[in-house]
Amino acid sequence: MSSAAQGALGALPAPGPLQRLSNALYLHPRLLLLLLLTPPLLWLGVIYLGSLFSLLLQSFFYIDEFSGVVVREFSLATYHQLFTLANFDIILRTSAMAAVVSVAAAALAFPLAYYMVRYASTRMKALLYLGVMLPLWSSYLVRVYSWKLILAKEGILTWLAEQLHLTWLLDAVLALPVIGGPSLSTSDIGTFLVFLYVWLPFMILPVVAALERVPRSLIEASADLGAHPGETFRKVIWPLALPGVVAGSIFTFSLTLGDYIIPGIVGSSHPVIGQAVYAHQGTAGNVPLAAALTIVPIAIMAVYLSVAKRLGAFDAL
């Protein structure tokens, strides 16, 4: 090497701290991965898992019946209270509402999703996507309070029933035991309708994604082999789209199971799990029972997610 070249190399500036750090991370990719994952893992471990562990720990304490003070001793007494008539009724009612909302959302979402995937033009499909997503752009509370006005005794649904001379039908529905009430806005039917409206987009989108992955050639082959449309649906379309339906039900079921705002604004006086947790943790001061009630939806969703995974729902997300 000539002396001029050696002089040019010697004149190169020394690498700065950032460049040395960049070179070190490039040469040690595992160190880079560790630095990238440490902050979110610390957040997940300390904030999220830490709070869940705190809840689990609190649920094994109990309230002294005479003093009302929390006794910090290991006991299953609080979990025994979950099986009293009042608390078990809350758990069953909330789970039933979540299941019914999920089934109804699937029944409404599937035909719309199938039309969007198989028959809608590009422009119509864009408009339908916009219609599905548009409610999500507005405030959650605004939508719920709007439905409270719609379902009220002086609301548009009651007025429409009067114009169509169907007041007798509305009164018959409201007279049904358990789910009825003075008006739609103060009944479990009203709670169901609002839940269905609010969570429906979370069912439509996974079903659309699942149906888009169904090859059109399979449907055409089924028809060529002499299968009726109903048979094609049962044996070809539905099995392939089922993971998307189950994936959507994860959202509708879990969101309904944990929500307490909608039942507090629209619905009857029958509490759900979220309202019971709020009451026991706040006004009643029974933190162990509130923690035990919080564990219930976590346990239900753990079982639900394990079943959904077996059905391939995670592949459709």
Percent pLDDT > 70 in the chain is 93
Q: Per residue in 99-140, pLDDT tens?
A: 999 999 999 999 999 999 988 888 999 999 999 998 888 888
pLDDT band at residue 284 using 50, 70 and 90 as cut-offs: low
Q: What do you get for the CA distance between the two ends of the chain, in Å?
A: 60
Torsion of CA 184, 186, 187, 190, to 10 degrees: 50
The domains of the chain are located at 19-50, 80-316
Backbone angles phi, psi at 30, to 5 degrees: -65, -35
For residue 317, the model assigns a pLDDT of: 61
Choose the CATH number for 80-316 among 1.10.1660.10, 1.10.3720.10, 2.60.40.10, 3.40.50.880. Answer: 1.10.3720.10
Nearest CA-CA partner of 91 in 252, 279, 257, 282: 257
Question: CA of 301: how far to CAs of 3, 117, 272, in Å?
Answer: 74, 30, 16
Residue type, 251: F
> Does pTM surpass 0.85?
no
